[in-house]
Amino acid sequence: MVFHWSLLTVHCSLFTGHRSLLTAHCEAVAVLHDLSECAKLFGEQLQSEVLEALGSVATEARDEIIRRLTEKNALRSALDLN
């Protein structure tokens, strides 16, 4: 009977440890998701502000800035490993 109780104690201990790890993992995934959503929102707001500011500069300068940003974005997309 002692053997049985010791196995039950070990099993409960392992289960508690796994549950703690799963809880921590779920919390980490939730934080990463929230950060991803914030980055998207910030990127959209930044893009809106940049486009608004570009509207007030000379046409040639605006077109050159947009061309350069488009090139860098295309390069970044090509290198993105996701």
Q: Residue 7: what pLDDT?
A: 67
- The whole-chain average pLDDT of the chain stands at 76
Contact residues for 65 (Cβ-Cβ < 8 A; gap 6+): 54, 57
Minimum mean pLDDT range among 7-16, 17-26, 61-70: 7-16
Work out the pLDDT band at 80, boundaries 50, 70, 90. low
Q: Residue 8: what pLDDT?
A: 64
SS3 assignment, position 41: helix
Is the pTM above the cut of 0.75?
A: no
pLDDT tens per residue, range 39-79: 888 888 887 887 788 778 788 888 888 888 888 877 777 76
Q: How far apart are CA 38 and CA 34, in angstroms?
A: 6
User: Which has the closest alpha carbon to 6: 78, 14, 76, 64?
Assistant: 14
